[in-house]
Amino acid sequence: MWGEHEGKGSIFSNVQLPMASQKKCPSCGQWTVWNVSIDDTCEHCGAYLMARERAYEEARTERIKRDKEKFLFTIKPTDNALQRVARRVGYVFYVTYVAILSLITAILFWLPG
């Protein structure tokens, strides 16, 4: 059964591999190999193939970083010990408050049903 193909090569010798993905460069208009990655660049001009998505992802990453820094309870390296304790205690109260409000909201929605 498995050894019946003497001299015929591999059992996968007639399998054709799919063509590599290609994408038309938005900058120069040439077709180039594309690995479906946000960091892929054109082989001809070096421009990013997904420039809009890449710019969106960079802006999103920057926005997340900025929002994390602006959060009231984020402990900064310049905070002294009292500020660190106050931020931790404040964060615990904040999480407790949100949990209680979420529980009350869930109960109010479950009561009529």
pLDDT tens profile 10-60:
555 555 555 678 889 988 999 998 888 888 999 999 999 898 999 999 999
One-letter amino acid for residue 110 of the chain = W
How many whole angstroms from its chain centre is CA 97?
30
Beta bridge partners of 48: 41
**CB-side neighbour CA atoms (13 Å) of 81:** 0
pTM equals 0.53
Per-residue pLDDT for 61 more than 60? Answer: yes
